[in-house]
Amino acid sequence: MTKKILILLFILIPIKANALIEVDITRGNLNPLPLAVSPLSIDEESRKDFEKILKKENIGSEISNIVENNLRTSGLFNPLDKKAFLQAPDIANLKPRFEDWNLIKAQALITGKANYVDDKLRVEFRLWDVLAAKEMMALAFTTVPNNWRRVGHIISDKVYERLTGEKGYFDTRIIYVSEEGPKTQRIKKLAIMDQDGANNKFLTLGNELVLTPRFNPASQMVTYLSYFKNMPRVYLLDIETGTQEVVGDFPGMTFAPRFSPDGKKIIMSFAKDGKSDIYTMDLENRIVEKITNHPSIDTSPSYSPDGKYITFNSDRSGYQQIYVMKNDGSDVKRISFGNGLYGTPVWSPRGDLIAFTKLHKGKFYIGVMRTDGSGERLLTENYYQEAPSWSPNGRVLIFYRETKTNSKGEGFSAKLWSIDLTGYNERQIKTPTDASDPSWSSLLSN
């Protein structure tokens, strides 16, 4: 009881002290901020134009729905039911009647307008602090009509940033592996979708097994593992052009690829004679460097955001554990010392944490620890889950989860899930097929 009251106080005090609304995202948010997303107002002529071009009856409402959905799934905001709104969208955008919005307990209000101008979609929006009766932000965008979903994501990012003080993660995409068929013969394809599941597209046909796709920092290229011609090798794919190439000329299996933070190198494992070591390849001059040299399995490498360090997992101690080393392979230090096995370390884009998968007493956990291994925190426990990937602002982790089959070996599924760094707000991300190995892009509009 006292705990609940304390949390309430913490959230309330900063709001009062700063006059303008502020959402604290560093702790689990049990009281999402109530806010009203008024549909973008649209004149009848523009509405008809967009209906013709985009086959959407009211693009203003559609864009607002995207904003509303994004803010709700963040777990930090509670968008109120539109039926309760007292003020019409067009008038609200000019000058909200704050008493009306106060009455339905909205603390923030988003209003806006969509127009069809010179074959373009023009959107303006405003964020209002209802209690202070003040405009917090006003912005306008012009883009091709087909970009309407992205406009919704960009508005969501701007609102999130204004209210939390941190960059958003809505104008982003997820690359993942789509899975179909029986567990013993899964058909796997590379697939890409917007962060909210829209615009799903398959990038490979499923003729060969593909695994572990990861974006480069510009989110234009993907590195992944393909069993093309039954030779497991790391590949590079240009999403726009569709061109693919093998990375390096290794006499055996290369796997577990990731880009360096500047996008110039790929770091990966190469397995030979029962040993797996970590290598990098420079994408410009094709120079290959061996980073670790140990008879154990060294894999799942991930760079720190400044590129100076690498975290990876190794069984050199006898069991799978997490290590950190300098980017030249020197100064190797084990950082995981808890009970169980540790794998798939991924450095947070903020630099302060490493997310991992832990296997302990038959359960799988997704957790985070500081980069020296201290402060281990387990966020979620399940029968099987692994491969966390960070949202670009380092606040959310996406991963995949597999179900236990029944006594006949039936009932297998693999799905994408996300959870906040706080351990709250766990959600399944809907995909058209089963899914695994998600990788989150950086913000596209930066």
Partner 1 sequence: MRLNKILKNTLLILTACLVLSACATKKEVATDIQGQMQGDVYTGTDTVEYLADGVPDRVFFATNESILTTASRETLRAQAGWLRKNPNINVVLEGHADERGTREYNLALGERRANAAKDYLMTYGISSDRITVLSYGKERPVDSGSNPLAWSKNRRSVTVKAN
Asked whether the beta carbons of 183 and 405 are under 8 A apart, the reply is yes
For residue 413, the minimal CB distance to partner 1 (Å) is: 12
Q: Which stretch binds partner 1 (CB under 8 A): 20-28, 48-56, 152-160, 184-192?
A: 184-192
> Taking CB under 8 A as the rule, does residue 187 contact partner 1?
no
Measured CA angle at 374 (ends 371, 379), to 5 deg: 90
Contact residues for 135 (Cβ-Cβ < 8 A; gap 6+): 126, 127, 128, 129
* Residue 79: CB atoms within 10 Å: 22
Q: Provide the strand spans (E) within 288-413.
A: 288-290, 298-303, 309-314, 321-326, 333-334, 341-347, 353-360, 363-370, 377-382, 384-390, 396-402
> Taking CB under 8 A as the rule, does residue 383 contact partner 1?
yes
> Taking CB under 8 A as the rule, does residue 384 contact partner 1?
yes
Q: Which stretch binds partner 1 (CB under 8 A): 66-74, 117-125, 216-224, 355-363?
A: 355-363
Alpha-carbon span 289 to 316, nearest angstrom: 21
Asked whether the beta carbons of 93 and 112 are under 8 A apart, the reply is yes
Could you give the C-alpha distances from 76 to 156, 353, 395, in angstroms and in order? 12, 22, 12
> Taking CB under 8 A as the rule, does residue 357 contact partner 1?
yes
For residue 247, the minimal CB distance to partner 1 (Å) is: 16
Q: Is the CB of 123 or the CB of 266 nearer to partner 1?
A: 266
> Taking CB under 8 A as the rule, does residue 151 contact partner 1?
no
Residue for token pair 């049990």: 30
Q: Is the CB of 186 or the CB of 334 nearer to partner 1?
A: 186
> Taking CB under 8 A as the rule, does residue 174 contact partner 1?
no
Q: Is the CB of 343 or the CB of 373 nearer to partner 1?
A: 343
Asked whether the beta carbons of 299 and 256 are under 8 A apart, the reply is yes
Residue ranges in 244-273 that form contacts with partner 1 under rule CB under 8 A: 252-253, 255-256, 269, 271, 273
One of 27, 56, 120, 186 touching partner 1 (CB under 8 A): 186
For 357, the token pair is 């998968």
For residue 427, the minimal CB distance to partner 1 (Å) is: 22
> Taking CB under 8 A as the rule, does residue 242 contact partner 1?
no
Alpha-carbon span 126 to 309, nearest angstrom: 42
Assign 109 to helix, strand or coil. strand
What DSSP designation does 81 have?
A: P
> Taking CB under 8 A as the rule, does residue 230 contact partner 1?
yes
Residue ranges in 292-311 that form contacts with partner 1 under rule CB under 8 A: 297, 299-300
For 213, the token pair is 């796709």
> What is the total count of residues that contact partner 1 (CB under 8 A)?
46
> Taking CB under 8 A as the rule, does residue 185 contact partner 1?
yes
Could you give the C-alpha distances from 177 to 24, 299, 401, in angstroms and in order? 34, 20, 13
Assign 34 to helix, strand or coil. strand
> Taking CB under 8 A as the rule, does residue 223 contact partner 1?
no
Q: Which residues bind partner 1 (CB under 8 A)?
A: 182-186, 209, 211-212, 225, 230, 232, 252-253, 255-256, 269, 271, 273-276, 297, 299-300, 313, 315, 319-320, 341, 343-344, 357, 359, 362, 383-384, 386-387, 402, 404-405, 407, 409-410, 412, 437
